[in-house]
Amino acid sequence: QGATKNRTPEKPQYDTDFTTRVIAATGSKAHPRLAEIMPSLLRHLHDFAREVGLTVAEWASAIDLINACGKMSDDRRNETQLLCDILGLESLVDEITSKKLATSTTETPSAILGPFYRNDAPLLPNGSSVVHNLTPSVPWYNQAVADSAYVTGRVLSCASGGGARTPLRNAIVDVWHTAPNGLYEQQDTDQPEMNLRGRFATDADGRYSLYCLRPVAYPIPDDGPAGQLLALLDRHPWRPGHIHFIVSAAGHRSLTTQIFDSRDEYINNDSVFAVKEELIVKFVPREGDPKAKWALEYDFVLGPM
């Protein structure tokens, strides 16, 4: 009784002039874009705090969360990015960026980069495999054989407009995916360096071709603060099986995207909200190729710079 007697009985009224003053104190001669976006950020941030009645203790636990993400991050783990991913923020800014820059709806849709890209994947000849050192002693050998896949397609330009698509020679298809144990090579000491990564240059017809594996569903790393938050929010950490690509060609905007295996049970339930209809693919059985049980043909369409 005594504990409640001094508390405000009705909805508190805040001095919103406070926010106006904070915004008025904010500008940037050095960085015009910062000057443009900060007022909006401050307005939404302050409105959010007022709307939910954010307390000092709650704000302090958010600070702890962000600090914990930073402490955990290094070359191999970007926990702050992962936090953004589970909040849908990386997917949202990816969508905003491609809407701003795309010149045609025929461009292949983008999808988020994610935290596991590595520069300088080996440049491999078309028709070679990104699966290295696969021997029967590898724990997931049988699954790798059952899911072996031949992936081919063309890199096309829609730069000339009018719905025309022209093949791009010497485009680079940079590809990466997890092993059947759900781990990227840098997360897994049992995989050789740069396993399941490669770059392929398209031929005169704009064609690339490679051997890889049908991707499996896997949980994003959930042993850190982002995973704790997921659990608190009654959410699962799984992503549908996906293959990442960065496709680049002279005079064209690089495309960062992912393709998603239609068979996957998480296809409509991605923990980082990256799936788009046009990026869902169907692998088909491949006959007469001892190196692949499955085949996929997928074209990438790039827009002009």
Interacting residue ranges for ligand MBD, rule: CB under 6 A = 82, 85, 112, 114-116, 220, 239, 272, 274
Among Fe ion, ligand MBD, none, partner that 115 touches (CB below 5 to 8 angstroms by kind): ligand MBD
Among ligand MBD, Fe ion, none, partner that 85 touches (CB below 5 to 8 angstroms by kind): ligand MBD
Question: Position 97: which residue type?
Answer: T
Least spacing, CB of residue 91 vs ligand MBD, in Å: 8
Return the number of the residue (148 or 271) whose C-beta is nearest ligand MBD. Answer: 271
Least spacing, CB of residue 138 vs Fe ion, in Å: 20
Return the number of the residue (82 or 247) whose C-beta is nearest ligand MBD. Answer: 82
Among Fe ion, ligand MBD, none, partner that 155 touches (CB below 5 to 8 angstroms by kind): none
Least spacing, CB of residue 89 vs Fe ion, in Å: 16
| Helices (H), ranges, the chain | 17-24, 32-52, 56-72, 79-86, 89-101, 141-146, 225-232
Distance CA 12, CA 8 (A): 7
Return the number of the residue (19 or 195) whose C-beta is nearest ligand MBD. Answer: 195
Q: Which residues would be at the binding site for Fe ion (CB under 5 A)? A: 114
Least spacing, CB of residue 244 vs Fe ion, in Å: 6
Return the number of the residue (85 or 107) whose C-beta is nearest ligand MBD. Answer: 85
Report the SS3 class of residue 126: coil
Return the number of the residue (114 or 221) whose C-beta is nearest Fe ion. Answer: 114
Distance CA 240, CA 264 (A): 6
Distance CA 52, CA 69 (A): 24
Distance CA 300, CA 160 (A): 16
Distance CA 283, CA 147 (A): 10
Least spacing, CB of residue 155 vs ligand MBD, in Å: 21
Least spacing, CB of residue 185 vs ligand MBD, in Å: 12
Among Fe ion, ligand MBD, none, partner that 206 touches (CB below 5 to 8 angstroms by kind): none
Q: Decide: residue 119, CB within 10 A, 0-12 exposed, 13-18 middle, 19+ buried.
A: exposed
Return the number of the residue (115 or 153) whose C-beta is nearest Fe ion. Answer: 115
CA 273 to chain centre: 9
Least spacing, CB of residue 109 vs ligand MBD, in Å: 15
Among ligand MBD, Fe ion, none, partner that 46 touches (CB below 5 to 8 angstroms by kind): none
Neighbours of 29 (CB within 10 A): 7
Among ligand MBD, Fe ion, none, partner that 272 touches (CB below 5 to 8 angstroms by kind): ligand MBD
Contacts for 256 with CB less than 8 Å, ≥ 6 apart: 94, 110, 111, 112, 113, 244, 245, 246
Least spacing, CB of residue 272 vs ligand MBD, in Å: 5
| Helices (H), ranges, 87-177 | 89-101, 141-146
Return the number of the residue (115 or 206) whose C-beta is nearest ligand MBD. Answer: 115
Among ligand MBD, Fe ion, none, partner that 281 touches (CB below 5 to 8 angstroms by kind): none
Distance CA 302, CA 120 (A): 22
Residue nearest to ligand MBD (CB): 114
Detail the DSSP E strand segments found in 221-291: 238-239, 242-248, 255-261, 280-281, 284-285
